[in-house]
Amino acid sequence: MIKPLLTLFLPLFFTCSAIAEAPYPDPERFRQNIEQFLAQENTARPPKNAIVALGSSSMLGWHGRIAEDLAPLSIIPRGFGGSNMYDARYFLKELVLRHKPRAVMLYEGDNDAALGASTEQVMQHFIAIVHTLHTELPDTRLYIFAVKPSIARWNIWPAMLNINEALKSFSETDPLITYVDVATPMLGDDGRPIESIFVADMLHMNDRGYDIWRDAVRPVVYAAEKSFE
């Protein structure tokens, strides 16, 4: 059942077509990536009743160790680099719904902020994702990750904080949504991103960064999902 606050916001977010279009590029630019995921499934069937890990390059970068970091949870990694919240919404059927997962972990908003998208635009697409999940998979839980800070994008951190506040506030209205704060542990005592957790581009994380994500995500997701394995 769609929650009361979601019902309240749906008319706004589904009728503002201008918000849906700019500044977002055409999601079809990722068609080849999506087809590769689908082709992989012909040779290696994803587990049933699993958790889909969906998101941009920060989620993609976790592919190599996410199963170990969250073991014994069954994970279907579906990160595709450069994606945004609109892209995640656009490919929800191919990347999420087809698997009928018991839960979804979602990381988007980083590239949205870099595009200059407003908090309202990000939330439009996020709420559309929530609406679709509640409609198609009404028992599926959603773990929405905070937008992470980085040195490369520190100049837009205030915009990212606004997105995080909106995501957190919305999650508190819906028992099926959990906000996971992966951002705060990435900040040092000086309130700035810890330089040693990034690769050379100062945007993407190295293993020390993913150690932080593991330690932030595992206690939340494992505690809620372990009984379903």
Predicted confidence pLDDT, tens digits, the chain (229 residues): 334 444 444 444 444 344 457 699 999 999 999 999 999 998 888 999 999 999 999 999 999 999 999 999 999 999 999 999 999 999 999 999 999 999 999 999 999 999 999 999 999 999 999 999 999 999 999 999 999 999 999 999 999 999 999 999 999 999 999 999 999 999 999 999 999 999 999 999 999 999 999 999 999 999 999 999 9
**CB-CB contact of 144 with 106 (8 Å):** yes
CB-CB neighbours of 80 under 10 Å: 21
Give the model's pLDDT for residue 2.
Answer: 37
**Residue 219 belongs to a domain with what CATH number?**
3.40.50.1110
Number of folded domains in the chain?
A: 1
CA-CA distance, 217 to 207, in Å (whole number)? 15
CA distance 209 to 214: 9
Q: Where are the alpha helices (DSSP H) in the chain?
A: 4-15, 17-21, 31-43, 57-60, 66-69, 85-90, 92-95, 110-115, 119-136, 157-171, 207-225
Tokens 């508190």, located at residue: 172
Distance in angstroms (rounded) separating the CA atoms of residues 17 and 163: 20
Question: Residue 42's pLDDT is what?
Answer: 86
Given a contact cutoff of 8 angstroms between Cβ atoms, the answer to whether 86 and 24 are in contact is yes
Domain span at residue 198?
4-228
